[in-house]
Amino acid sequence: MSVVENVGLDRAELLRFIAAGSVDDGKSTLIGRLLHDSKSIFEDQLSSIAKTSSKRGMQNVDLSLLTDGLQAEREQGITIDVAYRYFATPKRKFIIADTPGHEQYTRNMVTGASTANLAIILIDARKGVLTQSRRHTYLASLVGIPHIVVAVNKMDLVEYSRDVFTQICSDFAVFSQNLNLRNVEYIPMSALNGDMVVERGDQLNWYQGRTLIDLLENVDIEHDVNLDDFRFPVQWVCRPQTEELHDFRGYMGRVESGLIKVGDAVTIQPSGLHSRIKEILLYQSNFEEAFAPQSVTVTIEDHLDISRGDMLVKSGDQPRVDKEFTAMLCWLSEQPLSSGRKYIVKHTTRMVKGLVSQIDYRVDVNTLNQEKQSL
C-alpha cells in the first residue's frame, strides 16, 4: 500500500481537540473523566488527587485536578492557562487542550484552538447558552475548526430532562446559523457521574446518539487537510559541515498542505526559479513522497539560492502573489489594532513588516453584529 493510500489512516491516528466553555461548565472535570474512564492515568496520580480532594472536604475524587495544574488555578477553581493532556484508546491517539473559561483569559483559548481538529463547547444545562459559550463558538469558527461538539453538561442537576437538552440545542442552533460551522453534534452528559462520556450510564436512555468517546474515536478527520495544493515553507537550510556530507544541501520544514513526490517539478517562491524534487528524507530514511502535515527534509536537483522563509510549490499550482489582501483577524493584544500602523507579520517562516491600511469593521463576539469603523 502506498503512502497516499495510507494518508487517511495516518491522519486518523491523532486527534487534537479542545474543551471550551464558560467558567464552572465542567471542562476540567470532563477531561478528568475521559482520562479516568479510559484508564489513562497512573495510580499515583489518582492517589494524589484523591488526597487533595479529601483535604477539601469532598466525598468523591475531584477529577478536574488532573488538568488544573497551576497553583493559582487550584486556589481559585478556574482554568487560567491551556493545559494539554495526552491519552489513547485502541482506535486513536488524542491531544486535549483544556482552555480557559473566564472571559479575562479568552485569548489563551485561541492558542489551543489554532491547531485543533475538533472543539467541545461545554454548556451548563442549568444556565443554557451563555456569553462565553457564544464567544468560544465564534472563535472556533474563526480559526476554522471543522468539527464542533456541543456537550450539554450537568444533566444530573436538571433531572436529565430531555426538554432542557432540546431547548439548549435549539438556542445554540439559532445563534450559530450564520457561522461557518461544517459539522455540529449535540450530546447530553454528566461529566461528574460519567453519563455519556465513556459509558452511556442509565439516566439518558432517551438519547440514542453516540457517547463522547465513541464520537471522538470515529469522527472523520481524513478530509480536514488540503492534500491538493503543495505548500512547503522552508524553515531551515541544512548544510552539515562533515567530510561525508560536505556537498549536502537539504531544505527542512513542514508540509503545510498537499503532497509531493520525488521527481515532481517545483517552483521556489518568491524568486520563481524552477527545479525538481531529488530526495525526500524523514527520520534519516528516503521516501518517495510526503504529505501534510509531515515534517521532512527535501533536496532538489539544482543548486539554487533558497533561504529560510522561501516556499516550495508545485509548478503549475502556484499561489497568487499579492502585496495587499483582506483578512479577518483575531486580535489578542490589550492594545487596540490601529489603522495606518506597521506591524510584524509572520509570513511562512519569516518575519516581515506589514501595514494595516484600513479597519472595515469589528465583530461583537456576543451578538456577531458588525460594528462599522469610522474613517
CATH code for the domain of 99: 3.40.50.300
| Domain that includes residue 237, residue range | 231-314
Do both 272 and 349 map to the same domain?
Answer: no
Do both 270 and 349 map to the same domain?
Answer: no
Q: Quick one: pLDDT at residue 113? A: 73
Q: Quick one: pLDDT at residue 322? A: 85
Do both 73 and 173 map to the same domain?
Answer: yes
Do both 346 and 296 map to the same domain?
Answer: no
Q: Quick one: pLDDT at residue 66? A: 58
- Counting Cβ atoms within 10 Å, is residue 280 exposed (0-12), middle (13-18) or buried (19+)? buried
This prediction's pTM? 0.77
Q: In this structure, is residue 2 part of a structural domain?
A: no
Do both 255 and 197 map to the same domain?
Answer: no
Do both 159 and 33 map to the same domain?
Answer: yes
Q: Quick one: pLDDT at residue 59? A: 61
Q: Quick one: pLDDT at residue 374? A: 62
Domain end marker among 191, 218, 245: 218
Q: In this structure, is residue 223 part of a structural domain?
A: no
Q: In this structure, is residue 195 part of a structural domain?
A: yes
Do both 77 and 194 map to the same domain?
Answer: yes
Q: Quick one: pLDDT at residue 239? A: 87
Residue 77, number of CB atoms within 10 A of its CB: 13
Q: Which three cell numbers stand for residue 42?
A: 497512573
Q: Quick one: pLDDT at residue 71? A: 42
Q: In this structure, is residue 115 part of a structural domain?
A: yes
Do both 169 and 205 map to the same domain?
Answer: yes
In the chain, the number of structural domains is: 3
Residues of the chain falling short of pLDDT 70: 1-12, 41-50, 52-83, 99-109, 111-112, 243-246, 366, 374-375
**Measured CA distances, 238 to 139, 247, 249, 306 (Å):** 37, 11, 6, 11
Do both 35 and 165 map to the same domain?
Answer: yes
Q: In this structure, is residue 148 part of a structural domain?
A: yes
Do both 74 and 179 map to the same domain?
Answer: yes
Domain end marker among 218, 251, 270: 218
Do both 296 and 338 map to the same domain?
Answer: no
Do both 150 and 57 map to the same domain?
Answer: yes
The Cα–Cα gap between 168 and 304 comes to: 59
